[in-house]
Amino acid sequence: MDKFVIQGGTPLVGFIPTSGAKNSALPVLAAALLTADEVVLRRIPRVRDIRTMVRLLVDIGSDINVNGETVTLKTPKIVSPEAPYELVKTMRASSLVLGPLVARAGRARVSLPGGCGIGARPINYHLSGLERLGAVITQDHGYIEAAAPNGLRGAHIVFDRITVTGTEDILMAATLARGETVIENAAREPEVVDLANLLVKMGAKLEGAGTSTIRVQGVTELHGADHEIIADRIEAGTFVIAGLMTGGALNITGCIPEHLGALTAKLTQAGARISQPDSTTLRVEPSGTLRAIDMSTEEYPGFATDLQAQYMAIMTQANGISIVTETIFENRFMHAQELQRMGANIRLDGRKAIIAGKSQLSGAGVIASDLRASASLVLAALVARGETVIDRVYHIDRGYERIEAKLSAVGAQIQRVE
Ligand code: EPU
């Protein structure tokens, strides 16, 4: 298992590029199942979750060619409408094939995900949405079977709670359902909009993506398309924090600054100097010691839960007490204990973390527990005194493309060792 060895204390300076968004890439890859034609997807990040999704789609029946960041898919026929436990347990987003499979093949068999490092993460809203669209759902041996042999029909779906992949799953299914579907309390994340843009290119009729009500007029068939996905706002946000924490002058290029509004607003309030030299770049400059500012995660356009761990890392370096509240997942504070081992002063109280700063962090052996938790440990290590060894970096490889190469190119002392 690979580890990162990091020597803290060097400011990050220069230009660091942003990759395509993992959480856009996953649903758009699944969307290719909706047509027999060729779908070309560009700027797909080379991360482990994407390789897992590609494996799943190949098993289902897609012919796939991966050429750098361009993935070309063609699925003349659904050979096996199934997502097995071995894949679903490593990547919950496998459930994104559920909607497209039922819509295209009239049948899907997908393993139930079970719990994971950050919470229970059930898929009940995906299932009740599909039921509303007319699918019959049964459960057996840990698998969900969804069947709609005569096709899906449009329906009015109100999500009890905002769900990102749930919205994406139902949106994809609805494109091929008979008649109109209205999805209310839909997720408004930029990744949902990106998926909707691809679906429209494929011939889907829909409006309202990016708002909480999406309307879809079902069509009988979708066709091929060519689509470049959006920049990864979580990766870009992680780099913004890295630049600030190390006191560097760092330009995060190829990003979409509007997608990072909640983060940059909080950091600016804390005293960070962040500017936008052009429409796709964010620049951070040495800002002195920041002030502690409370933060609560929310669905988009609120503060992303996927940046909570990284925000906690920077708050250990801010003066004063900040309270970070996690409202989306029930168990997403695993990084707190590891940050404490590096000298952070953090107390957990249910869904709140109380951080007292500024702490001098010192290098230690730590363990990455999930994707974003690992990112927060990398950030802490970049400012810690001495050497930090982060174990189980396969977690970070799920969603960050060559993070060690990108960070060393702007001055970080980070090495991957086997
Ligand atoms: N939930 C249910 N039932 C459902 C669906 C969700 O109870 O059927 C709950 C979840 O357990 C959670 C909340 O609703 O407490 C929100 O979950 P959501 O469905 O929005 O999460 P997701 O779609 O599974 C996506 C991202 C996550 C990101 C969350 C929240 C992808 C592939 N994954 O997950 O990304 O944290 O939205 O923004 O888009 C990551 O990239 O590190 C990551 C975990």
Q: Is 116 a catalytic residue?
A: yes
Instruction: Give 302: exposed, middle or buried? Use CB within 10 Å, 0-12, 13-18, 19+.
Output: middle
Helix, strand, or coil (residue 6):
strand
User: How crowded is residue 141: how many other Cβ atoms within 10 Å of its Cβ?
Assistant: 9
Q: What CA–CA distance (Å, rounded) separates 347 from 354?
A: 5
Catalytic residue, from 5, 58, 112, 116: name it: 116
Best mutation site among 127, 165, 333, 370 for ligand 1, i.e. most ligand atoms within 8 A of its Cβ? 165
pLDDT digits 0-9 by tens, 97-114: 999 999 999 999 999 886
Going from the N-terminus, what domains does the chain have, and what CATH number goes with each?
3-19+231-417 (3.65.10.10), 22-228 (3.65.10.10)
Indicate whether 6 pLDDT > 70. Answer: yes
- Per-residue pLDDT tens over the stretch 366-380: 998 899 999 999 999
Give the strand pairing for 365-367 and 387-391: parallel
Q: How many Å apart are CA 100 and CA 39, to the nearest integer?
A: 14
Instruction: Find residue 387's DSSP bridge partners.
Output: 7
Name the percent of the chain lying above pLDDT 70.
100
Closest CA to 30 of 194, 169, 144: 169
Residue 340 has pLDDT above 70, yes or no: yes
Closest listed residue to residue 132, CA positions, set 181, 204, 201, 68: 181
- CA angle, corner 124, sides to 216 and 91, nearest 5? 95
Separation between Cα atoms, residue 344 and residue 381, nearest integer Å: 12
pLDDT of residue 88: 87
Residues 6+ apart with CB under 8 A from 124: none
As a whole number, the mean pLDDT across the chain is 96
Q: What average pLDDT does the segment 122-146 reach? A: 95
Q: How far is the CA of 227 from the centre of ligand 1 (A)?
A: 24
The pair of three-digit structure tokens given for residue 365, joined into one six-digit string: 């052996």
Residue 115: pLDDT band (50, 70, 90) is low
According to the model, what pLDDT value does residue 49 have?
Answer: 95
Q: How far is the CA of 362 from the centre of ligand 1 (A)?
A: 33
pLDDT of residue 121: 82
Count other Cβ atoms within 10 Å, centred on residue 117: 15
Per the CB < 8 A criterion, the answer to whether 113 and 123 are in contact is yes
Could you report the per-residue pLDDT of 24-71, keeping only the tens digit for each? 999 999 999 999 999 999 999 999 999 999 999 999 999 999 999 999
* The amino acid at 65: N
pTM assigned to the model:
0.98
- Atom of ligand 1 minimally distant from the CA of 49: 32
Q: Are 201 and 225 in contact (CB under 8 A)?
A: yes
The rounded Å distance from CA 93 to ligand 1 centre is 9
pLDDT value of residue 306: 98
DSSP-derived secondary structure for 365-417: EEE--SHHHHHHHHHHHHHSBSEEEEE-THHHHTT-TTHHHHHHHTT-EEEEE
User: Within 6 Å (CB) of ligand 1, which residues are found?
Assistant: 23, 26, 92-93, 119-126, 161, 163-166, 191, 305-306, 328-329, 371-372, 399
Inter-residue contact 397 to 48 (CB < 8 Å)? yes
Q: Among positive and negative, which fits the CA dihedral 223, 163, 156, 114?
A: positive
Locate the ligand 1 atom nearest the alpha carbon of residue 96 and give its number: 32
Query: Residue 239: what pLDDT?
Result: 98
Q: What's the CA-to-centroid distance between 166 and ligand 1, angstroms?
A: 8
Check pLDDT > 90 for residue 131: yes
- Which ligand 1 atom is the nearest neighbour of the CA of 128? 8
The count of residues in the chain is 418
What is the number of the ligand 1 atom nearest to the C-alpha of 123? Answer: 8
Window from 31-40, 84-93, 216-225 with minimum mean pLDDT: 84-93
Q: Are 188 and 299 in contact (CB under 8 A)?
A: yes
Measure Cα distances from 182 to 102, 203, 206, 217 in Å: 18, 18, 10, 9
pLDDT of 117 higher than 80: no
